[in-house]
Amino acid sequence: MFDTDNAKNTMTQTDIKFSAKNVQVFYGENHAIKDVNVELEDKTVTAFIGPSGCGKSTFLRCLNRMNDTIDICKVKGDILLDGEDIYDKRVDPVQLRAKVGMVFQKPNPFPKSIYDNVAYGPRIHGLARSKAELDEIVEKSLRGAAIWNEVKDRLDAPGTGLSGGQQQRLCIARAIATKPEVLLMDEPCSALDPIATAQVEELIDDLRKDFSVVIVTHSMQQAARVSQKTAFFHLGNLVEFGETPQIFTNPEDERTESYITGRIG
Amino acid sequence: MPSNWLVLIVLALATIGFVIGRARAIQSAGGETRDLHSLPSYYGTHVAMMAAVPAIGLLLIWLIAQPLIINSSVASSIPDSAIAETDLGLVMSDVRRVADGLDVAVSQGAMTTQDAQNLNADETDVRAELAKVGVALGSDVSVPILEAAQDYRQKSKVGSMAMAAAVLTLVAGGMFFAVGRTNKSFRARNVVESGIKTLLLAAASLAILTTLGIVLSLVFNTVEFFKLYPLSEFFFGLTWAPSFGGGSELGFLPLLWGTLYISIIALAVAVPIGLFAAIYLSEYASPKMRSVAKPLIEILAGIPTIVYGLFALLTVGPLLVSIFGADGVGIMKAGTAVMTAGLVMGVMLIPFVSSLSDDIINAVPQSLRDGSYGLGATRSETIKQVVLPAALPGIVGAILLAASRAIGETMIVVLGAGAAARLSLNPFEAMTTVTAKIVSQLTGDADFASPEALVAFALAMALFIITLGLNVVALYIVRKYREQYE
């Protein structure tokens, strides 16, 4: 991020982490996100729900500029992280992604040892001055991702040899090892069984103490269980955004109600 | 009847069989094709297959066997007096030439069939007669040879007739059998598909059998060589000095060293350039750039190696001499040197390494790259720490394949590296390789009973084992690591 101090003046509320204004996303000719305005709070789990293809994952990927890796993708509008525009020319997307970590739909551990998987981020960002410090970060991250007890005796084993649920928690450990401020999760439980899902959900609730978490999910029960705020997307529009209990019990928009009750989607 | 006509007739009959089989199948189902077990065309194909395949098989076997049988039966009828001066093989080739000449004469109308059969070498100058129709013979035709030739013609004619009869009978029989069992519940599709399976199997086994044949021919000649030349001197000899007069020293080590040295230089050129090109093409280049650059690099792979050889001889060699030769550094005597051949061979191998590595790097799942970018890694960090380690087994495989290609290369060495077999560390000296020496030992009037010629087979065998070993190691590495990452 750029380190000018004038940016701080634009900050309105300290507890707003992300603020998106009139965000439009185009995939070539396809208008994937239409005029989204939303403010995401710090130390909160925000869930994005909506039918497939509604743009929730696309919007999530705008928040750490992962869409930059797709050539035909164009993003318009402003997305502010702590009041600074992340699409400003002076922002290095690489450093942004160190601040805004991401966990993907399918567990994608690197073909390296469990230790090296977690140490990957700290190493490339130079977060540890010594081996002991790196060991400490790795242990803390693995504990944070509630997988330490399962892997502490085999840190040298390949990360790809773990079960699906363990792999996903390893990926979460890997993401939190770089000490991000925000953690983006793109359907993190869709490839997991119910037990592994429960573990990951419990973990998400724990992570709220330290991070702001944004989670895309297809499971409305999951959104209801883990999130404090929910945003409902439909056909590229942000239809409704509010407190999770409010959205699930008393939605304002009838499209939201239709989706939640299972009539569309 | 000429055999190509016979093949056409068989195929025509098979086509008719196709129509009959199809029609009969439809008829047996009362015109309702849905009642058939298989599609109508399968019934047709079944009949055509049964008609043509055994018949053509028999034709092939007959075409191979008939000359052998006739040869031996005619040969046994030639009196010993006619063979006295030369050997039987030469006499038989004369017989065949005369027989062919008579065929030509008859087909051109210079003789009637009857004349050809009744010719007498004592009365007619057969050589002159045949010369008139454009068949030149090496010597005058003696009585026994003419008789043998006439015998040969007679037997060939009978054989061909018998062949045609047998083949046509088999076509008819096959067709009859196939049409006979065609009815609506016959599983024609299964039969046709097992036929296709057999065809594919035959193609695969043919490739394997050819390899086996090549290996066996090498083995027999190698064994022959080691009967004449001691094994230990071949493998541990430090001098390569063949002389066809006898007393040659045939040490393998100087050639092996030349081969390895040139290959190492070639790989030192090809691996970094090829790999970096592959990384650029797969990770950095825009799709447009890639679609232009990749085919351009692959053009290199299409250049014949003799052209590379000329490039080495005429361009790279003189260029190196101008830098390292007497006018420059002074360590290079002539254009032909290990360095010349190695550099040019390296250029030849670039597309191998780059094209294979590019495919392998592209096969690394995008999710791994996303995972790395998502942690704030740059593109080059991602490539170094995630993409390349994941692609490494495949890349090693590609490099080993390139290495076995380098070891087997001949033309560039012949033209670029010189012909002197020597053990030296100076890369600007001329050296030679195993392949180049195989060529030089077998070209010219080689006597295949001498160790100097037979050594080529021992060299080829050694080379074959080395490249085979490399390929096995390459496959092993690729398989082993692929399992780990999936």
Q: Are residues B10 and B85 in the same domain?
A: yes
Cβ contact B371–A96 (<8 Å): no
Nearest CA in chain A to B385: A120
CB within 8 Å of chain A, chain B residues 43-102: none
> Residue A79 phi/psi, 5° resolution?
-125, 120
Q: CATH code at B262?
A: 1.10.3720.10
Nearest CA in chain B to A104: B371
Q: Are residues B135 and B241 in the same domain?
A: no
- Containing structural domain, residue B213: 191-220
Q: How far is A108 from chain B (nearest CA, A)?
A: 6
Cβ contact B371–A112 (<8 Å): no
User: In total, how many domains does chain B have?
Assistant: 3
Q: Are residues B214 and B315 in the same domain?
A: no
Burial class of residue B85 (count of CB atoms within 10 Å of its CB; 0-12, 13-18, 19+): exposed
What pLDDT score does B484 carry?
54
Judged against a pLDDT cut of 50, whether residue A11 lies above it is answered with: no
Q: Are residues B214 and B239 in the same domain?
A: no
Instruction: Determine the residue among B361, B375, B381, B483 to mutate to test chain A binding: the one whose Cβ has the most chain A Cβ atoms within 10 Å.
Output: B375
Cβ contact B375–A174 (<8 Å): yes
Q: Are residues B167 and B202 in the same domain?
A: no
Nearest CA in chain B to A176: B375
**Which residues of chain A have a CB within 8 Å of the CB of B376?**
94-99, 101, 121, 124-125, 178
Mean pLDDT score, A176-189: 90
Judged against a pLDDT cut of 80, whether residue A5 lies above it is answered with: no
Cβ contact B376–A95 (<8 Å): yes
Asked if B380 is an interface residue toward chain A (Cβ–Cβ < 8 A), one would say no
Q: How far is B212 from chain A (nearest CA, A)?
A: 40
What pLDDT score does B19 carry?
94
Strand, helix or coil for residue B241: strand
Q: How far is A252 from chain B (nearest CA, A)?
A: 35
Cβ contact B368–A110 (<8 Å): yes
Name A223's Cβ contacts closer than 8 Å, sequence gap at least 6. A47, A49, A215, A217, A230, A244, A248
Judged against a pLDDT cut of 50, whether residue A1 lies above it is answered with: no
Cβ contact B371–A104 (<8 Å): yes
Rounded Cα distance between B420 and B410, Å, is 14
Specify the higher pLDDT residue, A5 or A66: A66
Answer yes or no: is B472 within a domain.
yes
What pLDDT score does A265 carry?
59
β-strands A100-103, B240-241 pairing: unpaired
Name B239's Cβ contacts closer than 8 Å, sequence gap at least 6. B249, B251, B254
Name B346's Cβ contacts closer than 8 Å, sequence gap at least 6. B265, B266, B267, B268, B269, B270, B273
Answer yes or no: is B85 within a domain.
yes
Q: Which of A89-93, A118-122, B108-112, B218-222 has the lowest mean pLDDT?
A: B108-112
What pLDDT score does A8 carry?
44
Nearest CA in chain B to A159: B485
Q: Are residues B453 and B323 in the same domain?
A: yes
CB within 8 Å of chain A, chain B residues 258-287: 286-287
Cβ contact A94–B377 (<8 Å): yes
- β-pair partners for B241: B249
**Which residues of chain B have a CB within 8 Å of the CB of A181?**
none
Cβ contact A95–B367 (<8 Å): no
Specify the higher pLDDT residue, B79 or A103: A103
Asked if B385 is an interface residue toward chain A (Cβ–Cβ < 8 A), one would say yes
Q: Are residues B174 and B195 in the same domain?
A: no
Q: Are residues B312 and B459 in the same domain?
A: yes
Flag whether the pTM goes above 0.90.
Answer: no
What pLDDT score does B485 carry?
52
Specify whether the CB–CB gap between B393 and B481 falls below 8 A: yes
Q: What is the pLDDT along chain B (486 residues), one digit of tens a residue?
A: 577 888 999 999 999 999 999 999 998 888 888 888 888 899 999 999 999 999 999 999 999 998 888 888 888 877 777 666 667 777 788 788 888 888 888 877 777 777 777 777 666 777 777 777 777 776 777 777 788 888 888 888 888 899 999 999 999 999 999 999 888 888 999 999 999 999 999 999 999 999 999 999 999 989 988 988 888 888 888 888 887 777 788 888 999 999 999 999 999 999 999 999 999 999 899 889 989 988 898 888 889 999 999 999 999 999 998 888 877 777 788 888 899 999 999 999 999 899 889 988 988 888 899 999 988 888 999 999 999 988 888 888 889 889 988 998 888 988 888 888 888 888 888 888 899 888 888 887 667 778 888 888 999 999 999 988 988 888 887 777 665 554
Judged against a pLDDT cut of 50, whether residue A12 lies above it is answered with: no
Instruction: Determine the residue among A57, A68, A97 to mutate to test chain B binding: the one whose Cβ has the most chain B Cβ atoms within 10 Å.
Output: A97
Cβ contact A110–B485 (<8 Å): no
Q: Are residues B277 and B293 in the same domain?
A: yes
Q: What are the tens digits of pLDDT across the range B411-448?
A: 898 888 888 888 888 888 888 889 988 888 888 766 77
Of chain A, the percentage scoring pLDDT greater than 90 comes to 37
Name B170's Cβ contacts closer than 8 Å, sequence gap at least 6. B54, B55, B58
Answer yes or no: is B229 within a domain.
no
Answer yes or no: is B225 within a domain.
no
Cβ contact B375–A158 (<8 Å): no
Judged against a pLDDT cut of 80, whether residue A257 lies above it is answered with: yes
Cβ contact A95–B378 (<8 Å): no
Q: Are residues B337 and B394 in the same domain?
A: yes
Asked if B113 is an interface residue toward chain A (Cβ–Cβ < 8 A), one would say no
Answer yes or no: is B228 within a domain.
no
Answer yes or no: is B214 within a domain.
yes
What pLDDT score does B445 carry?
66
Cβ contact B381–A124 (<8 Å): yes
Q: Residues B280-290, buried b or exposed e (16+ Cβ, 10 A)?
A: ebbbebeeeee
Specify whether the CB–CB gap between A151 and A93 falls below 8 A: no
If one looks up domain A6-260 in CATH, what number appears? 3.40.50.300
Cβ contact A174–B371 (<8 Å): yes
Judged against a pLDDT cut of 60, whether residue A7 lies above it is answered with: no
Q: Are residues B239 and B381 in the same domain?
A: yes
Cβ contact A69–B371 (<8 Å): no
Q: What are the tens digits of pLDDT across the range A19-38?
A: 999 999 998 888 888 889 99
Q: Are residues B171 and B200 in the same domain?
A: no
Q: Of A94, A96, A178, which has the smallest distance from its Cβ to B378's Cβ?
A: A94
Answer yes or no: is B227 within a domain.
no
Mean pLDDT score, A152-156: 92
